[in-house]
Structure 1
Amino acid sequence: MGLSSRPDTPEPDTESSLLLHPSENPPPISSKVPEDSYHLAYIIHFTLGFGYLLPWNAFITAVDYFSYIYPGVSVDRIFAVAYMLVGLICLAVIVFYAHKSDAYIRINAGLILFVVVLLVPPVLDTTYIKGRVGLYDGFYATVGALALTGLADALAQGGLIGAAGELPERYTQAVIAGTAGSGVLVSFLRVFTKAVYSQDPTGIRNSANLYFIVGIAVMGICIVFYNVAHRLPIMQYYADLKVQAVNMERDKGSMTGAQWRSSLLGTVGSIKWHGVGIVLIYAVTLAIFPGYITEDVKSEAMKDWYPILLISCFNVFDLVGKSMTALYMLQNWKVAVAACFARLLFFPLFLGCLHGPEFFRTEVPVSVLTCLLGLTNGYLTSVLMILAPKSVPFHQSETAGIVSVLFLTLGLAIGSIIAWFWVV
């Protein structure tokens, strides 16, 4: 059943019971779930999803600038490895200590750290690099900023997906769709700057600085939105519902370290196949996008516009896929995971675009495959990230959401490493 068929104000017990394990349903906090007036809670969750992926998108969209300033460096692939591996390690730590920390603090810390790392490239450019080529100390500082972005992403993304997992499905869908929206924004900015700014060193510098300035502005909006969201009646309702569920667990007795680890392993076991699917999605996607698209395929007709348009195609169709779950939500996780395995076919298909028959090496097959890569990435991500927190008792939903992000980041890290080797 699609999300759109579910009203924002369900009958008593219906929405609450979806969030609580069937054997643990207490009476609801109130007789009626408050209405999401003007869809403000949905918009806030979309904006937060939009924001936390924007710093990464800003760095990879400014690849022309970094490639010019640091010649001879495989910028895309080095950035991906630094960002993904740090994010993976930090998320693993957060999973084990999430029950001892406050998601509100983690998310705010992540959002503020995003602002700091987004300041690094423009500050370096204006105070140290100043358009000069080959100052590799600046590159090391930039990679360090990417590593901090991975930490910020672990704090913010893990917290936001975990918190959204405690809400009805539409809010997880909003966060996931927002991540795709950030990709579309930076693609639009890339096309805009390519068309407006001259493609000389000055124009490339101005383009890159614009990406980071926009990113800082959006992160400021996200900080404000996140810190006012808890005042919305619908958010207060679900916060009270969480307190009730946690108190029920506490009444059963305090949880020792061994019991917590057992509970965590149980949560992982409940969503392990969801996690396998998520790992496969991003291992395939990151092995191909953006490195293969920006460095391996060429077009005599479109020249340097070709990778820009391909990246835009991927991001637009990723947004379409992540938005489709608002219209039709696949409820069978087994079908979704099978589709993730089927995406392995993208490897021979994209390889054929380099070494296959002549027609296969033209722009049309590459463009179609890129659109399909984005569409399946978006839809299957949204399905599995929504279903995973709903597969465990309510008091474990936040942990399940964070673990899902850990699987996602593991897939990103694996894909970014595969990207170095699978095309020769």
Structure 2
Amino acid sequence: MGLVVNSGDETTLTLLNDEILSPPQKNIPKDSFHFAYIIYFTLGAGFLLPWNGFITAVDYFDFLYPDESVDRIFAVAYMLVGLFSLICIIFSPRKSDAFVRINMGLGLFVVSLLVVPLMDVFYIKGRSGLYNGFYVTVGALGLSGLADALVQGGLIGSAGELPERYMQAVVAGTAASGVLVSFLRIFTKAVYPQDIHGLRNSAILYFIVGIVLMIICLVFYNVAHRLPVIKYYNELKLQAVNDAKQDKGPLSGPVWEIMGTIKWHGSGIVLIYVVTLSIFPGFITEDVHSELLGDWYAILLITAYNIFDLVGKCLTSIYLFENENAAVNACLARLLFYPLYLGCLHGPQIFRTEIPVTVLTCLLGLTNGYLTSVLMILAPKKVQLQHAETAGILVVLFLILGLACGSIVSWFWVI
């Protein structure tokens, strides 16, 4: 990993991540049946499923609240609450334990997901125009945004303290969440009629699946801390923290120094999601059409994007591109998607057919998944082990900032 040198007259720090994270192999407990990996994969899928559930049920909410711009209000409410909450976590003078934050967040996810189906059964009952229900729904979404900050920040932060495969598992899990919801969307569209009864059944199914997965995540996460392999790396982190306290006094957590160390990783992540969110899903759902596939076209394109996003995030388990400068340059190269998609919309007729658009959408998902996984894996390894959790939380801050900027760009820029 190399030496970490602080500015000014501070002493050169010689404690290397590689020495901590790569102890003699014979001393490391085995991840039996890859159970720890499966747990972190499931947790990665879990913390994104509530958002995916709310936004996938947008047809149901559009019917209930026709005078509101549901998808845009949902995005602003969720991301602003999540961003503000994450900033509070990062700069809080007293850092709460990740174990507490994650358990609290998973509990809040369950509460927020219960609101919509319970309100549908006891109050809304399929009736349109009851806007008190809309305000309650937005409040539940905001609660889900808070839960996301607690869970995602804590989970990415704690995965940053573990070997690379566990961060890869979390990131791949986030993509699996999108694939799961896409298949649920295909199932509900094929099975349920597209009237209010079908929309209600579809929405309730999304939220029930989300609640079940949150309960599984709660059980899995509390089991994870009892696994020998996780205990082993937690003890390494405690040792690193204690060593740092003895060398330099109380560990203050130099947030700005850590942010400076991983700034290029964070910049790459922001750029990834500005490009992705300014194209997807707006272009896919509004600008391209198919006479052959009709309203299935957008659903199939979104599914293709999510599948290739998962493929990209899984590829880092086979080959991890460790040149961070090249990875950031690859993020810049993704700007080429803009003229390519413009060609599919306004270019020669051969480019305005289903195949070119589908290929581009698959490549958009593949590059989004792979580069996100690379940068999120590498960033926490740039700092000492005792600061890896903070680096992981900062990576999530960059991620949410990229999502927010991409969403804003999609409002003002249309292909």
Q: Do these two structures clear the TM 0.5 threshold for a shared fold by scoring above it?
A: yes
**Residue equivalent to 2:384:** 393
Give 1:376's aligned amino acid.
T
SS at match of 1:297: coil
Q: How far has the Cα of 1:143 moved from its partner?
A: 2.0
Does 1:360 pair with 2:329?
no
> Is contact 1:81-1:417 (8 Å) kept?
no
**Residue equivalent to 2:259:** 268
SS at match of 1:59: helix
Q: What are the residue-to-residue correspondences of 1:2-401 with 2, within 5 Å? A: 21=16, 32-97=27-92, 100-255=95-250, 260=253, 263-401=254-392
The Cα offsets for residues 233-253 of structure 1, whole Å up to 9 and x where unpaired, read as 001101111110010011124
Give 1:306's aligned amino acid.
Y
SS at match of 2:226: coil
Q: How far has the Cα of 1:295 moved from its partner?
A: 2.8
The Cα offsets for residues 179-228 of structure 1, whole Å up to 9 and x where unpaired, read as 01111111111111111111221011101110100000000000000011
Q: How far has the Cα of 1:386 moved from its partner?
A: 0.1
Counterpart-to-counterpart distance in 2, 1:24 and 1:35: 19
Q: Among the aligned pairs, what percent are the same residue?
A: 68
Counterpart-to-counterpart distance in 2, 1:95 and 1:418: 26
> Is contact 1:352-1:360 (8 Å) kept?
yes
SS at match of 2:27: coil
Q: How far has the Cα of 1:360 moved from its partner?
A: 2.9
**Higher alpha-carbon deviation: 79-88 or 150-159:** 79-88
> Is contact 1:77-1:291 (8 Å) kept?
no
Counterpart-to-counterpart distance in 2, 1:265 and 1:198: 53
Q: Which runs of 5+ in 2 are unaligned?
A: 1-14
Counterpart-to-counterpart distance in 1, 2:80 and 2:342: 26
Q: Relative to structure 1, is the Cα distance of residues 108 and 264 closer, same or farther in structure 2, using a 3 angstrom cutoff?
A: same
The Cα offsets for residues 73-100 of structure 1, whole Å up to 9 and x where unpaired, read as 4333332222122211111111112862
Counterpart-to-counterpart distance in 2, 1:348 and 1:368: 15
Counterpart-to-counterpart distance in 2, 1:317 and 1:30: 34
Q: Relative to structure 1, is the Cα distance of residues 77 and 292 closer, same or farther in structure 2, using a 3 angstrom cutoff?
A: farther
SS at match of 2:92: helix
Does 1:405 pair with 2:396?
yes
Q: Which runs of 5+ in 1 are unaligned?
A: 1-19
Q: Relative to structure 1, is the Cα distance of residues 342 and 99 closer, same or farther in structure 2, using a 3 angstrom cutoff?
A: farther
**Residue equivalent to 1:11:** none
Counterpart-to-counterpart distance in 1, 2:299 and 2:386: 44
Give 2:44's aligned amino acid.
G
The Cα offsets for residues 266-295 of structure 1, whole Å up to 9 and x where unpaired, read as 111110000000001111112222233223
SS at match of 1:53: helix
**Residue equivalent to 1:14:** none
Q: Relative to structure 1, is the Cα distance of residues 333 and 406 closer, same or farther in structure 2, using a 3 angstrom cutoff?
A: same
* Count of residue correspondences: 401
> Is contact 1:318-1:376 (8 Å) kept?
yes
> Is contact 1:29-1:240 (8 Å) kept?
no
**Residue equivalent to 1:420:** 411
Give 2:158's aligned amino acid.
A
The Cα offsets for residues 357-401 of structure 1, whole Å up to 9 and x where unpaired, read as 333332222211111111111000000000000011111100000
Counterpart-to-counterpart distance in 1, 2:335 and 2:92: 34
Aligned CA RMSD, in angstroms, stands at: 2.0
Q: Relative to structure 1, is the Cα distance of residues 81 and 26 closer, same or farther in structure 2, using a 3 angstrom cutoff?
A: closer
Q: How far has the Cα of 1:24 moved from its partner?
A: 7.4
Counterpart-to-counterpart distance in 1, 2:331 and 2:338: 13
Q: How far has the Cα of 1:28 moved from its partner?
A: 5.6
The Cα offsets for residues 86-128 of structure 1, whole Å up to 9 and x where unpaired, read as 2111111111128621111111111111111111221221122
SS at match of 1:299: coil
**Higher alpha-carbon deviation: 403-412 or 291-300:** 291-300
Q: Relative to structure 1, is the Cα distance of residues 367 and 93 closer, same or farther in structure 2, using a 3 angstrom cutoff?
A: same
Counterpart-to-counterpart distance in 2, 1:237 and 1:389: 18
Alignment TM-score, normalising by the size of structure 2: 0.92
SS at match of 1:71: coil
**Residue equivalent to 1:3:** none
SS at match of 2:194: coil
SS at match of 1:100: coil
